[in-house]
Structure 1
């Protein structure tokens, strides 16, 4: 079969939560004295019960210092260091602290600097895990958090629990000429994206790619290749991005996982990418720029137009 494939030297980029990370400084998690000494100058991410961050009137991050909040680290989660400044996360319902507004993680990912949105994502994932890890799953004993919030220790049987991360594959599937996209029930009108699904016990990632694509679309994957990963704290997934080559099978859906799946040409994908700036009300809409799904689509399209010498979306008028 002749056709196109993504360039092997192109790395995925541009999606949220994967750039400018904190220094996790694991060696400080057991050093209560060092964390207490850092607290007055530290920056504190304050999140409400819905996982929204406190923001100023312009929607920018409002992260008070430890001195402004008073006290010490206590039950705050130590996120890490940024240029020797400690960052912590706390649940706002435990504080007498207010802010002009609250900002959700998706909005922050689109508007805030990479460091701030990444720190917010880490804080949200850890606080969500803590809020759902109150009792031991073995003996039902109460859980106490240690290591600056990263370890849940059972006061009954002594079992330890760690923050949960759920690995999932997300894959741009091509038959050599076209890209496979699907649509879930409940998505915004006309929205399509690449296939994704969680890894099951006993599977390799490549096996998950083949199984998920087959289960959701009845398309048979021949080979796959890992490209990049994105933390996706909604609430605690790690999206593992792949590209895959598949047979040109006609997609079939069950109406539950997906309500539609289709093969799309490079011309259709290019038009969809340009639709971000000029929505003509026709055709499909793609995943937002904060997601690795969008980067996978753009990566496939770059390979497709590159092999044909075609224009990129930025070079083509709407």
Structure 2
């Protein structure tokens, strides 16, 4: 399966949610314990930005039985993600020492999530649940102590809350909003690149929404700060959960009011205008200079592809 087949236009990774979150079960500890013992129950085991996967020759499987997960060294504390066809799906973490013991084995691997998703090693319909598991496991690993009084907190409600036994403060997983936007002016679009990008790759500009800021203001501010471009007519396209570590990418379009780019070299290595034909070649990896657009895995590809193929954004 090609990446274009796995992530057709309008369907980036992490958006096809197939689980029933079944939030009513999160407070039912006895029921959750029973589900953990059910032979149909499965789990995703997260280690930093990677997953523990079962190997069978060239094939890999990310959805493990609870017995497999525990045998590989996963932590016993589980996060209830929801139900799929009536069967429970959990998220589990694994300590670094346990993960290191898996290296070199033939039956299991610790594989980087982004690479597996981009290569189609994980079915696209599973990626939303994987993103949920990764975000929640990482949140619990970073928030073991109360931000209010410093006491050690405990997992509650199937992993969707931490509670402080000392001051009774409740702590909930957070999602960080990020605007990502395709800015156009007539028949050209603005893209930039960071030094960490693969050689020749350009993508949409993006940045975190700040406190007490609207999405529209965040788009305008980030574009001006990073590229010196004033823009207007900000419009919403779609969102994409992004578990790095736990963001929500808010895809937008905007129309530029000026042409002259002033690059913020702290944020970007380069930024430039591309016409529609050039952007099309970048998406298909056929640009004569070896330039490339974002992978179909990411919402940026779909913002750009929508403009290239449908011409909906910026043609106002």
Q: Same fold (TM over 0.5)?
A: yes
Per the alignment, residue 79 of structure 2 pairs with 77
Per the alignment, residue 32 of structure 1 pairs with 29
Give TM-score, length-normalised by structure 2.
Answer: 0.85
The reply on whether 1:289 has 2:296 as its aligned counterpart is: yes
Per the alignment, residue 274 of structure 1 pairs with 284
SS of alignment partner, residue 218 of structure 2: helix
Distance 1:69 1:286, change over 3 A: closer
Shift of 1:65: 2.4
Structure with greater strand share of residues: 2
Q: Which residue of 230, 234, 244 corresponds with 1:220?
A: 230
Per the alignment, residue 299 of structure 1 pairs with 306
The reply on whether 1:184 has 2:191 as its aligned counterpart is: no
Per the alignment, residue 21 of structure 1 pairs with 18
Per the alignment, residue 63 of structure 2 pairs with 63
Indicate the larger mover: 57-66 or 103-112. 57-66
Q: Is the 8 A contact 1:178 1:264 kept in 2?
A: yes
SS of alignment partner, residue 56 of structure 1: strand
Shift of 1:59: 4.6
Shift of 1:180: 0.4
Aligned length: 294
Shift of 1:184: 1.1
Q: Is the 8 A contact 2:18 2:126 kept in 1?
A: no
User: Unaligned stretches of 5+ in structure 1?
Assistant: 1-10, 309-318
Q: Is the 8 A contact 1:59 1:101 kept in 2?
A: no
The reply on whether 1:100 has 2:108 as its aligned counterpart is: yes
- Superposed CA deviations along residues 71-122 of structure 1, whole A, max 9, x for unmatched, are 9x96200010111010011123397996421222112322121232222111
Distance 2:66 2:22 in 1: 18
Q: Is the 8 A contact 2:283 2:294 kept in 1?
A: no
Q: Is the 8 A contact 2:51 2:112 kept in 1?
A: yes
Give TM-score, length-normalised by structure 1.
Answer: 0.85
Distance 2:163 2:81 in 1: 19
Distance 1:70 1:181, change over 3 A: closer
Q: Is the 8 A contact 2:15 2:241 kept in 1?
A: yes
Distance 1:248 1:18 in 2: 34
Indicate the larger mover: 87-96 or 255-264. 87-96
User: Unaligned stretches of 5+ in structure 2?
Assistant: 1-7
Indicate the larger mover: 259-268 or 114-123. 114-123
Q: Is the 8 A contact 2:235 2:254 kept in 1?
A: yes
